[in-house]
């Protein structure tokens, strides 16, 4: 069931923080614990997925549905030196930036798994990539009430924020590789995950074509 505004206000605020830890300053070394930044809810909650969380959430999902989030857009703008690239050859993953709208998927998480799932997400989103968590009202594509969901955005002061042109993005995606595989596979999986959820990838399909063309032109680069 959707989380009401009153419930959401008891669960999260947009400015939750731990003074000793700031994921925007830089990556946290492996082996260093990530503190509990996101308050743990006592009820089921939703996570808005717009990137790899769509096809690879990494946690048990009770249900999922496609939604639209207004006020943000999806963009390949997060420098990745671990998951999809290296320090020598950084990759890129998607982040949310202000303006426009974005379609994605909300996953419902059972309250009993809140600590487990949020600890996992804190490590996944904060350790390397410099995201900031917020809650936002998403609109189900099937209609109905708005669903308040936790998601992760990329502020201007994030150490990972990389404003690039589509041509620059395509060059990086075509040839970068990290711990989780090739950067190109990240894009291809994202498009496949969107289609599986009944969402048209839109401009991401054009980006995929550019990446595949670059790979064909320089297959051993």
Share of the chain above pLDDT 70, in %: 82
Prediction pTM value:
0.85
Class of domain 5-15+40-217: alpha beta
SS (H, E, C) 130-194: CCEEEEEEEEECCCCCCEEEEEEECCCCCCCECCCCHHHHHHHHHHCEECCEEHHHHHHHHHHHH
Mean pLDDT score of the chain: 86
Q: What is the residue extent of each domain of the chain?
A: 5-15+40-217
115-163 confidence digits (pLDDT tens): 999 999 998 888 766 788 999 999 999 999 999 999 999 988 787 888 9
pLDDT tens, position by position, 174-205: 999 999 999 999 999 999 999 999 999 999 99
pLDDT tens digits for range 23-34: 445 555 555 656
């Amino acid at each position: 069931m959707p989380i009401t505004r009153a419930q959401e206000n008891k669960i999260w605020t947009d400015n939750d923080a731990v003074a000793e830890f700031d994921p925007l300053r830089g990556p946290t070394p492996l082996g260093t614990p990530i503190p509990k930044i996101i308050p743990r809810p006592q009820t089921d909650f939703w996570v808005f997925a717009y990137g790899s969380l769509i096809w690879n959430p990494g946690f048990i999902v009770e249900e999922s549905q496609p939604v639209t989030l207004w006020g943000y857009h999806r963009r390949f703008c997060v420098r990745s030196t671990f998951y999809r690239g290296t320090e020598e050859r950084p990759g890129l993953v998607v982040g949310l930036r202000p303006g426009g709208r974005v379609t994605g998927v909300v996953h419902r998480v059972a309250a009993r798994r809140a600590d487990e799932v949020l600890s996992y997400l804190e490590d996944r989103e904060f350790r390397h990539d410099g995201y900031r968590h917020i809650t936002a009202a998403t609109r189900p594509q099937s209609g109905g009430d708005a669903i308040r969901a936790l998601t992760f955005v990329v502020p201007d002061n994030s150490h990972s924020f990389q404003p690039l042109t589509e041509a620059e993005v395509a060059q990086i995606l075509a040839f970068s590789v990290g711990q989780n595989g090739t950067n190109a596979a990240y894009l291809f999986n994202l498009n496949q995950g969107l289609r599986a959820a009944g969402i048209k990838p839109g401009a991401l399909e054009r980006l995929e074509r550019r990446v595949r063309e670059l790979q064909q032109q320089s297959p051993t680069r």
